Amino acid sequence: MKLLFLACLSPRTGNHTTAERIRSHIESAGHTCELRDAAEFQSPAEVTNLICQYPPFDGALAIHLYRAGRLLLGIPVPFGVIFGGTDINEDVKVEHKRVVMEQVLLKARFAVAFTDKLKEEAELNLQSQRSKIFVQPQGIQTEVTDKFCWTEFLRNSGVSIKLVDELRVFLLVCGLRRVKDPLYLTEVFSEWHCKNPLNVLVIIGPKIDPVLTAEVEAVVERTEGIFLAQERSQQELHAAMKRCFAVVNSSISEGMSAAILEAMDLGVPVLARDIPGNAAVVQHEVTGLLYSSPQEFVHQSQTLLSDHELRERVVRNGKVYMEEHHSLTRERETYQQLVDALH
């Protein structure tokens, strides 16, 4: 089969990584899968024109029911969709978007949710056939480059390299967009840093929202203990995660955070904001730590610093959780089976 796959493909984002991984699963079964950025298209008519070009496409896929799925309405081939998280957590609250997403779900042959919770929310908020929605957690495979210099990474991020081996680097991995709320912790973290300069927060990720990026850069410039790192390749990012004290998530909403899963796979503790998407993955004090306010973040961080048994436990349990629930092989088999439904 020849398949068109639409997704939001901002470079080095979780969406892009997920889409590339799913594309590879599909192509490993012998299909052709052309991955395109949903931002390239303005209407379903443009997608239909592409699909009908010779040789025509036999089916289509989309990640995110509104941003990409709406472009598949009216196309002349069957399609499946994958919930992105923001569509169910945020876009469903906007009436005209919800109506469009219901139409997409009605016409789709299948839909995939990353968690049981996301499936429940979809069934609650969108008219759908329960049997149409499958749950398939993201499959994760991390790879660390051996050509990574931690000291150089910190220096380039603006961190003083004095006492580099003693620094406790909290790494906030996120694209700079509102839903990731990258400034949520900065004020309280800076106060904590002033009391203990060895604790620093490094924000790393692609600059997606220009307005927010300018805000973040301005805050970082005037705030002690907060630094902004240039985005890196996946291997370099994993190497930085491997060296940090803990990986941080401060998002307002998540479908399933790849950064959290990657940290667990790498054996790094996770401190995640207590939202449904994160709580579906992180079990407090078992596979990571959850917090509900900046002040609680500092409290949980202090606990992680002082309680070595807790740190070892969440790292160990996180690795076991990844092995049991985020198998790359199982993810590959699921998508290959679902694509067969597009015949």
The answer to whether 163 and 198 are in contact (CB under 8 A) is yes
177, 321: one domain: yes
Instruction: Examine the pLDDT at 308 and tell me if it is beyond 70.
Output: yes
Q: What residues contact 72, with CB distance under 8 A and at least 6 apart?
A: 6, 44, 47, 60, 62, 79, 81, 104, 107, 108
**Counting Cβ atoms within 10 Å, is residue 1 exposed (0-12), middle (13-18) or buried (19+)?**
middle
85, 163: one domain: no
30, 178: one domain: no
Q: Is residue 317 part of a domain?
A: yes
7, 95: one domain: yes
Q: What is the CATH number of the domain that holds 131?
A: 3.40.50.2000
Instruction: Examine the pLDDT at 124 and tell me if it is beyond 90.
Output: no
Instruction: Examine the pLDDT at 117 and tell me if it is beyond 90.
Output: no
Instruction: Please state the rounded mean pLDDT for residues 223-233.
Output: 94
Instruction: Examine the pLDDT at 289 and tell me if it is beyond 90.
Output: yes
pLDDT recorded at residue 17: 85
173, 320: one domain: yes
Q: What is the mean pLDDT of the chain?
A: 93
Q: Is residue 144 part of a domain?
A: no
278, 206: one domain: yes
Q: Is residue 270 part of a domain?
A: yes
331, 215: one domain: no
162, 65: one domain: no
pLDDT recorded at residue 89: 83
Q: Is residue 145 part of a domain?
A: no
**Confidence label for 167 from pLDDT (cuts 50, 70 and 90):** very high
104, 184: one domain: no
pLDDT recorded at residue 127: 79
Q: Is residue 289 part of a domain?
A: yes
202, 243: one domain: yes
pTM of the model: 0.85
Q: Is residue 210 part of a domain?
A: yes
pLDDT recorded at residue 201: 98
Instruction: Examine the pLDDT at 102 and tell me if it is beyond 90.
Output: yes
pLDDT recorded at residue 291: 98
Q: Outline where 31-149 has alpha helix (H).
A: 44-52, 86-89, 95-107, 116-125
pLDDT recorded at residue 339: 94
Amino acid at 159: V
Q: Which among 118-132, 133-147, 155-169 has the top mean pLDDT?
A: 133-147
166, 177: one domain: yes
Instruction: Please state the rounded mean pLDDT for residues 104-133.
Output: 89
> Mind listing the pLDDT tens digit for each residue in 68-92?
999 999 999 999 999 988 888 888 9
pLDDT recorded at residue 287: 98
Number of domains present in the structure of the chain: 2
Please state, as a whole number, how many other Cβ atoms lie within 10 Å of the Cβ of residue 7: 26
Q: Is residue 271 part of a domain?
A: yes
17, 120: one domain: yes
Nearest alpha-carbon partner for 327 in 21, 122, 60: 21
Strand-pair partners of 112:
82, 134
Domain of 176, in residue numbers: 150-325
> Mind listing the pLDDT tens digit for each residue in 179-214?
999 999 999 999 999 999 999 999 999 999 999 999
pLDDT recorded at residue 12: 65
Instruction: Name residue, tokens 């443009």.
Output: 46
pLDDT recorded at residue 162: 78
